[in-house]
Chain A
Amino acid sequence: MSEILRTEKLTRDFGALRAVNEVDFGVSKGEVRSLIGSNGAGKSTFLDLVINKTRPTSGKVYFNGEDITGVAPHLIVRKGMGRCFQISKFFPDLSVAENIQIPCIHKDGLTYKMLRPAYGQCREEVEHLMEAVGIADYRDRPAGKLSYGDQRRLEIAITLAAHPDLLLLDEPTSGVARKEGYMLMELVVNLAKERGLTVVFIEHDMDIVFNYSDTISVLHYGRLIATGAPQVIKENAEVQEAYLGGMV
């Protein structure tokens, strides 16, 4: 299967600290890939480099074979990459429906339309996404008043509304109860399958990682030390020593 995302010697220095160290990383279309590593391993920074939220010190990023290194984040998103953050980012004072309507408005080319009413625009898509992530009952509630788990669902819906081909998720289950974490991951994986998405997610819960990943990559002090199927990673001695220890 062809690669949707590839990085070549991707590196980021923060002063004397090398947060991401010459990472060569590739993800095939339709794959669910998890990125694991201890705190400070460079996982979030790596995702930031991929979408150019943080500019790489050196190295290249290719998306669908196209070099996107240094391309502005909003242009990368338009090419089909979506990003969810570790701390949910949404529009807190707008209603749930409005939160999802915004990316839909953009996707439909209505961003600069000033003389037509916003009310009712993209209604079907918004309803569909709210139903899909399970927050349709809260459509008129300000997003800031949702529970944390529902805010995570909302962020996933906002990201999906931009119709990405590749979804980058930074700890999608952090801050939610274990059971809800599983439900969220189940939701993401099902939506990904339904829409033919590729998913790269960062996760600390090893049960979730081994249950939902097709492939796992392990970062350690900014270096990519292993990539492989869950069973291969479990048995990898270097990974065992660096990260997993007695966790599995």
Chain B
Amino acid sequence: MTSKPFRYRKDLIIGIVIIAVFLLLSFFIPGTSFLLARILIMMLFATGVNIMFGYGGMIAFGNAIFLGFGSYSFILLLSKAGIPYAAAILLTLVMTMIFSFLIALLVLRVQALTLGMLFMGLNLLVYNLGNYVPLLGRGVGISYASRPSFALDDRSFLIFTLVIVAVCFVLMYKILHSPFNQIIKGIRENEMRLTFVGINTKQVKRLMIVVSGTFCGISGVLYSMLNSGAYVTYLDTDISIQGLAMCLLGGMFTFWGPSIGAAVITFINVYIGGMTIYHRFILGIILILVIYFFPGGVLGYGNEDEVSARKFIKKLIPSGKEKKDE
């Protein structure tokens, strides 16, 4: 039938199970709330990135700029401008939307791999601004206790994060099962065909970047609350690459895939990273194995998503022969 049906019951159960697991872990394993909150925030970030990457087919090498922008804006509005808490959150959202729109205007001048490179160039630029601009803390960042007054300890902050992330996931779920998402998938599959059914693809892509950037920005706000401040590492290209890696690992053509990737990668970064400095080695090996043996990711393994993922990777980095055929 036309587009895939809303399997909302199944997805609702998955969502409830995730919430239950996070709460149970937090209550029965002391000291895990901080890690669990970080995993949740990264799940939101990765799913936000996947709107652009997996659904829209756009290599967003620089998605950390949205996360960084969200966290820096929120902290600056609170610490320097002295704006009330709720107003700072709302204003950050609006500013992130505008910022995402401006980024969209810049990057959509080119396509495919060059767009990814342009995105990365912007990421490097913003990262260096974070390193040298006094207002942004000159590489040190801005420390500011920014958790809400009712969620100061890790467990209550985890519950707060669960609520915000759950709301964002409901919204993203709706967006990713909407007519707009059908058009986004059309862009990934064949942008020219969309043009010739009368669709202004640039406008759709702009909106897609704004939507994706906004969710990444919200994850940035939560991240700055979790860590009590905005730090330049949030703007690092490493975060951008990890965002894509999360999507690839979990399954970029699935709704829950990026969340699985986010959980695995954050766990490796935090838990294994606490035991050995070679945790990136493990992460690297996992990614290489994923790309070679199951490009559809954990959730796409063995089904049609895997075929689509192979085609997608091939399309992003075409061989000389394919280019000639075009």
Contact = CB atoms under 8 A, between A and B. Distances in A.
Contact of A162 (B180, B186, B197): B197
A179 interface: no
Contacts of A93: 189, 304, 307-308, 311
A114 interface: yes
A60 B180 CA distance: 35
Contact of B201 (A74, A90, A142, A162): A74
> What secondary structure prevails in chain B residues at the interface with A?
helix
Given A74-B200, A117-B178, A90 B193 contact: yes
Contact of B178 (A72, A100, A107, A114): A114
B179 A73 contact: no
Contacts of B2: 97-98, 100-101, 118-123, 126
Given A91-B186, A94-B189, A114-B178, A139 B196 contact: no
Interface in A83-111: 83, 89-94, 97-98, 100-103, 105-107, 110-111
Nearest to B178: A114
B182 A162 contact: no
Interface in B130-189: 174-175, 177-183, 185-186, 189
A121 B196 contact: no
Given A94-B185, A94-B186, A122-B2, A77 B198 contact: yes
A161 interface: yes
B124 interface: no
Nearest to A93: B308
A89 B1 contact: no
Chain A interface size, under 10 / 10 to 19 / 20 to 34 / 35 or more: 35 or more
A117 B177 contact: yes
A100 B192 CA distance: 15
A114 B1 contact: no
Interface in B192-216: 192-201, 204, 207, 211
B6 interface: yes
Contacts of B211: 114
B5 interface: yes
B195 A120 contact: no
B190 interface: yes
Nearest first, the 10 closest Cβ-Cβ pairs linking A and B are A91-B189, A77-B198, A103-B197, A118-B3, A110-B179, A101-B2, A78-B198, A89-B193, A105-B179, A97-B2
Given A90-B193, A94-B189, A106-B183, 10 more contacts: A90-B190, A91-B190, A102-B194, A105-B183, A107-B198, A110-B179, A114-B178, A114-B211, A117-B6, A119-B5
